[in-house]
Structure 1
Amino acid sequence: MILKKKDSSITKTNSKADLKHSICSNNTNVLKTQLVELQKKKDLIASNIKQLKIQLLEDHKKFVPTEDANRICVSKSTDTDTDTLCSTIIKSHIENLKTLNEFKDLALRLVIIIAAEKNCTTKEVFQEMGFSDLF
């Protein structure tokens, strides 16, 4: 009677081990499949990024028709060069936006001074200047 209990407990232990092994094996297969899918997505994203960088270079060439822009857009030899160039173009655009904002701030200060001199609102000054569509 004791032997049978030991045998049945051994059988239960073996089936638990088999079950754990089966679950681990299934999980491993699922993870491998997910890894392959993620790798495909990563490759697609990398390809899209590369296309966007090339488009950025081409757009930059359209708006900056200089020898430098032509040289830069023609010589897309490596990803590192492209990354550096894209970073440079983006920094240049950001600097231009900062300059634009400084001019807008200056213009608004002048409008405020004019409004104070005329004892009217800035809205009225803008309307006098023909910018009534801003309000």
Structure 2
Amino acid sequence: MFRLPALSASVADARGRVRARLREWGLGAELRDDACLVVTELFTNAVRHTDSEKITCALHDAGLVIRLEVTDQGCGDRDPVPYAAQDDEEGGRGLLLVSVLAAAWGSDPAAEGTGRVVWAELAVHRPPC
């Protein structure tokens, strides 16, 4: 688990930390790439759509899936939902990408009583022993 300032500049740091942890766990390049894209989208949404000062990221190895959690400090205007971006719109496709890459994703109230945890589970394909 790590906590970073809720700044756009922190997104690259979060991505690098996730990539390094998954590499330490011996997980493949494709999963690392997918997880980095997911954390980029979730962290960016927390920066843009909440008034957080800090954002917490956590990774959990649950065997068949890796669970990635991004926790903000709250005051977002609604639960995250994929947006149907128009062809000429520059943004708005992040949660659609998350939904394609993740086996499951969603959001829950943060344990501290304020904020939200947005999570995604990515399937792990481990070689047989």
Q: Report the TM range for the smaller structure's normalisation.
A: under 0.3
Give the TM-score, by structure 1 length: 0.25
Q: Which structure has greater strand proportion? A: 2
Higher relative contact order (CA 8 A, sep 6+): 2
Indicate the structure (1 or 2) with the bigger Cα radius of gyration. Answer: 1
Where is the helix percentage greater, Structure 1 or Structure 2? 1
